[in-house]
């Protein structure tokens, strides 16, 4: 049993959240050190999201002191599922880290609204037939992307936070009011 496992056994979920709150101010990154946060500058990583398609909410700590939490990861994978086909895929930790770091940089308690996480090839093909903005080989199909929205931040504020992480792709979709974040090559675009 690792030291973190032993520590987690002695902490309730509420205790973990209290620990997060106590360290959030000290560990919160700024735009200048977002890349450091992605490399392990924070002791705790947390995702807060709402899924507008399913009505589900997620508020979970998925990483503590260098270790990903297995049960939290299962919860995240289910939350990001292709809701049209009820298919679950493992979501890439790198994408989650970019989303968590970006959220911290925006200094808000509002959860992200997840519009699209994992997409099955069938769902991606259906969406591609309806819209020119859906990539044929979308990283959504690999569990490496998410489309997000917030009411308290503009898509440009969200994109700036994600871009400051200097990791992955960031696309802004003004007409649909969302930001795409992924862990692919570092790039930006406007859809």
Residue 73 structure tokens: 């990861």
- DSSP designation for 141: G
Helices (H), 39-154: 70-79, 93-105, 121-130
Residues whose CB falls within 8 Å of the CB of residue 22, separated by 6 or more in sequence, listed in order: none
- Three-state SS annotation for 41-52: HCCEEEEEEEEC
d(CA 141, CA 96): 15
d(CA 164, CA 159): 8
Give the mean model confidence (pLDDT) for residues 154-168.
95
pLDDT digits (tens, 9 = 90+) for 34-85: 445 555 445 889 999 999 889 999 999 999 988 999 999 999 999 999 999 9
Q: What's the pLDDT score for residue 32?
A: 42
pTM beyond 0.85, yes or no: no
Give the mean model confidence (pLDDT) for residues 155-164.
96
Q: Among positive and negative, which fits the CA dihedral 136, 140, 146, 148?
A: positive
Q: Give the chain's radius of gyration (CA, Å).
A: 16
pLDDT digits (tens, 9 = 90+) for 116-159: 999 999 999 998 888 777 888 899 999 999 999 999 999 999 99
């Amino acid at each position: 049993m690792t030291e973190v496992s032993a520590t987690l056994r002695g902490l309730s979920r509420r205790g973990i959240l209290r620990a997060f709150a106590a360290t959030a101010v000290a560990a919160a990154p700024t735009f200048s050190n977002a890349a450091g946060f992605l490399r392990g500058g924070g002791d705790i990583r947390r995702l807060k999201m709402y899924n507008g398609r399913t009505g589900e909410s997620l508020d979970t700590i998925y990483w503590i002191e260098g270790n990903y939490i297995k049960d939290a990861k299962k919860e995240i994978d289910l939350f990001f599922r292709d809701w049209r086909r009820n298919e679950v895929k493992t979501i890439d930790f790198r994408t989650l880290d970019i989303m968590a770091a970006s959220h911290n940089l925006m200094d808000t308690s509002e959860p992200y609204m997840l519009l699209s996480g994992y997409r099955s090839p069938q769902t991606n093909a259906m969406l591609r037939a309806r819209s020119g903005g859906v990539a044929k080989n979308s990283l959504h199909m690999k569990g490496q992307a998410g489309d997000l929205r917030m009411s308290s931040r503009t898509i440009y504020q969200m994109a700036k936070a994600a871009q400051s992480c200097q990791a992955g792709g960031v696309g802004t979709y003004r007409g649909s009011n969302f930001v795409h974040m992924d862990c692919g090559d570092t790039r930006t675009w406007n859809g």
